[in-house]
Amino acid sequence: MSDAVRLQLEDFSLDAEISALRATSKRVGGIAVFLGCARDFSEGREVAQIGFDAYEAMALAELQNLRAEAVSRFTLIDARIVHRLGVVEAGENIVLVAAAAEHRAPALEACRWLIDELKARAPIWKKEITPAGDAWVTPHP
């Protein structure tokens, strides 16, 4: 089974990640998922691809810390975080956050918390690649 927290160039399978979570325990009563995708537009411009750069050692450590914090804070059964690096084509997957708990409320709350914290704490940078040129993305609050 693949690691629960990963940075990778290649795409990932939503089904495989959910199956991995379900396999951890039969106590799982709900799984909440956030799947970030590459839009083909931004602020009125066409976006062909999105490029990702990362300080990989620190980013992976931060994501592993986030998973552990989420499991403890929301009493999760397990959680998985996968973020792609390199060039992602418009329409493809970028990031997956999935949280499994006995009940829906902690799973949903953890999922929201995880993606918000990931954006704030993981040293990853996004560049929109457009026909008119490339531009690094300024983070949104």
Partner 1 sequence: MIRALFFGPVAERVGARQIEVDFRPGLTWRALRDQLAALHSEAFEIVSIVAVDGRRVAESDAAPLRDGAEVVFMSAFSGG
**Residues forming the site for partner 1 (CB under 8 A):** 36, 52-55, 57-59, 61, 83, 94-95, 115, 118-127, 136-139
Q: Which of 36, 106, 26, 96 is nearest to 71 (CA)?
A: 106
CB of 53 to partner 1, least distance (A): 4
CB of 27 to partner 1, least distance (A): 29
Output 52 or 77, the one with its CB closest to partner 1.
52
Output 41 or 136, the one with its CB closest to partner 1.
136
Output 77 or 95, the one with its CB closest to partner 1.
95
CB of 31 to partner 1, least distance (A): 19
Output 96 or 107, the one with its CB closest to partner 1.
96
Q: Which of 129, 63, 56 is nearest to 96 (CA)?
A: 63
Cα of 31 vs its chain's centroid, Å: 15
CB of 126 to partner 1, least distance (A): 5
Element (H, E) at 8: strand 5-8
Output 77 or 94, the one with its CB closest to partner 1.
94
Q: At what angle do helices 104-121 and 56-73 cross, to 10 degrees?
A: 150
Q: Which of 130, 133, 124 is nearest to 61 (CA)?
A: 124
User: 3-state class of 28 per DSSP?
Assistant: coil
CB of 83 to partner 1, least distance (A): 6
> Radius of gyration (Cα) for the chain, nearest Å?
15
